[in-house]
Amino acid sequence: MIRLGALILATLAALFVILSALGDGNLRADRQPAPDERMAPLGPVPEPAAPAEITPVVVEAESQTPQQVQRFPGPALRPSPEYAGETPVATALPDGPVLYVTGDRVNMRAGPSTGDRVVSSLVRGTAVQPLGPTDAEWVNIRDADGRVGYVAGRFLSQTAP
């Protein structure tokens, strides 16, 4: 392995010496393109006039393009026939203590850890029923749909937000 490294090093050194001695250096450094006679001006070049003072153009708010609202063609949506005439009924929590979610969007998890899978996502103001002590770091709860899980205690309050 040492012989291979020495051979590579000797080869690189030999290439450097040969190219330094026989190379012509940077050939492009002193070369300039020949002037094109077709593009040369016929007479003296006039001096450009001093630029006039430029005033910025102010666009008035009413002259701007209004926001485009996308319209979707077609009839209004209707409920499917099997649910026609029914109104959705919100399920109520059973009697007992109620806590409210104080975070904008809080994950309800299968266990008392952020490593556990997410069972559901609760939004601010959602009422939940505690199933265990409410002063713990993680509180075991049941939501209005009957799903059971854990939420961090800092996102629960006894008063509605």
Quote the CA–CA distance of 29 and 25 in Å, as a whole number: 9
pLDDT tens per residue across span 126-152: 999 999 898 889 999 999 888 999 999
pLDDT tens per residue across span 21-72: 887 767 666 777 777 776 666 666 667 766 667 777 776 666 556 666 666 6
CATH top-level class for 99-157?
mainly beta
Tokens 């102010």, residue?
58
| 14 token code pair | 């030999």
